[in-house]
Amino acid sequence: MSRYHFMLIVSTVATLGSLYFSEIRGFIPCPLCWWQRLFMYTTAIYLLVSLFRNRPIDGFFLRLYTLLGFAVAAYHVILERLPDGEALCTNGCLIKWVNYFGFLTIPMMSLIAFTILIALAFYPKQKNAQ
């Protein structure tokens, strides 16, 4: 398995997790969550189609989308942690639908997923050992 397969697994789990929270649990995604979903879903679909059709993977595209998703997720987590974060986001971005272990919120889960994706996307290619 290549790093792209692991990226597909991570992005698919994150995609299914966000759909679970919104469609099954009924949590309403905020605008920042929608941006994170845009980058995560696109990454998952791109990897699925490329790997299924045995097409070459565009590393620049993956790095760009994971970095943009990471930036939005990091901003969302920072807003959550600020004492006056409500002043910067009034569209429900700071509702903590879940709070596992006192720190693991939905934006934090997204940030963790994007961090793993960035680590895999920027992992250097291995030379074939002969």
Write the DSSP assignment of 26-92 as a string of letters.
-PPPPHHHHHHHHHHHHHHHHHHHHHHTTPPP-HHHHHHHHHHHHHHHHHHHHHHHSTTGGGT--SS
pLDDT tens digits, 2-37 = 888 899 999 999 999 999 988 998 888 888 889 999
Q: pLDDT by residue (tens digit) across 32-53?
A: 889 999 999 999 999 999 988 8
Global pTM reads 0.85
Is 60 exceeded by the pLDDT of residue 115?
A: yes
pLDDT-based confidence at residue 92 (cuts at 50, 70, 90) = low
